[in-house]
Amino acid sequence: MSSSQPYILAIDQGTTGTTVIILNRSLEVHARVNREFPQIYPRPGWVEHDPEQIWATTLTTIREALASASLEGSQIAAIGITNQRETTVIWERATGKPIHNAIVWQDRRTAPFMRELRDAGHADEVKKRTGLVLDPYFSASKAAWMLDQVPGARARAEKGELAFGTIDTFLLWNLTRGASHATDVSNASRTLLMNLETQTWDEELLRLFNVPRAILPDIQGNAEVFGEVRGVAGLSDGTPVSGMAGDQQAALFGQACFNPGEAKCTYGTGAFLLMNTGDEIVYSDSGMLTTAGWRLGDEVTYALEGSAFIAGAAVQWLRDGLGLINSSADIEHLAGQVEDSGGVVFVPALTGLGAPHWNPDARGVIHGITRGTTRAHIARATLEGIAFQNVDILKAMEQDLGRSLEVLKVDGGASANGMLMQFQADTLGCPIIRPEMTDTTALGSALLAGLAVGIFSDLGEIREAWKEDARFDPVMGDAEREAHLARWSSGLSRV
């Protein structure tokens, strides 16, 4: 490999592990290393991470990725960071030591406090300022909890001795040895503390959640230099950290969804769908979240977001709970043994229903079983249920935006399932495109980092470098599609 070739190192810090990818300007991946770290469950509904373990896995994956690619740190031209969003850390400015474990986005300990705020009538104003709902999912109440529960923390925060951040900010602080305390608009927009219109911390929201301004990072765009590496083994001092975005926004960017109306779906444990709404802040009447996508220079791109709680997890349940398959990959073969689901509908509301229904009390339903129903019918109905949930979300987004979806780009583990992708295309009535590189969260942060330092000249060059792996065009007729959707509605009515 030529030492003159500019390489980008992308840190993808996720909920269960840290992945580092090294790629070049042609988007060829030269290394990919993942390391998991422990999940901490102090009480039912509480989920924590040890921030120092996150940093340790980051250092390990950086070192192993460089070795795997046979590269020196001096050959890395830029670093991008993408991260699990909303997960909250507070640490000492003087030492860099966290004052408490990170409180993870899944954590529900602040639900009573958020209920109080809703009951007090704050929901509409908060939605107007942030595009979000009053839910413990987001960062503000997590930060307030730490300040109130860790002895002396609030007084120290008021004195400016403590620093707050989502995981992107914590990694940046450590990569720069405390020289940079910053975040980007996409992560800041998930805190319940940033005003979507101004992309600044909102004084009214800071008062509402009782979070001192002194602990907050600076808010920057997504493709600009956040800081320079200092004293990190394997990396050269002065290497710019120049791209940053929350994981789902990074995936939208990594899928080259640069125009209004373009959308992506990440199929993981759940399904995360984001649709680009351009420079317009679109407030949803259909149960979607409004979020900042990215800011390039002075231009802000916004997005609508909806998520289904269960996607790949439904397949895992067939495997682990029912024993119908031995591995998740077996479901496509099993489902392919029948021509259709035989009238069976599976509503995978195993942990409630997410957008656009927002019914936390909903439970899963398998409807339409007869004496003729087989394992294969259940398997096929499971794949169909995953697709149907996404149809509901995307149709709601279309209604909010006032335009039809032209194409859906997909990534994540289940996007490898050709049967699911074809059924998704058929029920949406629009093409599905799967990229060559499905690590789109890491890719998005790498593209942003490269854009900031001139490895990529503009979005047009990125779009040309982006490569399609497979395309699934709808082949189902309108009448058949409507019959499927009616069957799904019938199943939904029974949850």
pLDDT digits (tens, 9 = 90+) for 295-347: 999 999 999 999 887 888 888 889 988 898 888 888 989 999 998 998 999 99
pTM: 0.88
The 3-class secondary structure across 74-90, one letter per residue, is HHEEEEEEEECCCCEEE
CB atoms within 10 A of CB 494: 12
Averaged pLDDT for residues 212-218? 96
Give CA–CA dist 219/85, Å, rounded.
15
Beta strands in 25-171 (DSSP E): 29-36, 48-49, 76-83, 88-92, 102-103, 162-166
Q: What does the alpha-carbon distance between residue 368 and residue 60 come to, in Å, rounded to a whole number? A: 50
Q: What is the pLDDT of residue 49?
A: 93
Cβ neighbours of residue 225 closer than 8 Å, sequence gap 6 or more: 240, 241, 242, 452, 453
Strand partners, 266: 272, 411
Mean pLDDT of 175-188: 96
Distance CA 442, CA 435 (A): 14
Q: Give the pLDDT confidence of 365-387 residue by residue, as tens digits.
A: 999 999 999 999 999 999 999 99
Please compute the mean of the pLDDT values over residues 116-142 and round it to a whole number.
92
Which domains are delineated in the chain?
A: 7-238 (3.30.420.40), 256-495 (3.30.420.40)
pLDDT the model gives residue 299? 94
Give percent of the chain above pLDDT 70: 99
Look at residue 352 in the predicted model and tell me its pLDDT.
77
Q: Are 239 and 78 in contact (CB under 8 A)?
A: yes
Tell me the pLDDT of the chain averaged across its residues: 92
d(CA 284, CA 306): 10
Query: Could you tell me the pLDDT band of residue 1, with boundaries at 50, 70 and 90?
Result: very low
* Calpha distance 287→132 (Å, rounded): 10
75-85 average pLDDT score: 94
Cβ(221)–Cβ(208) below 8 Å = no
Residue 3 confidence (pLDDT) above 50: no
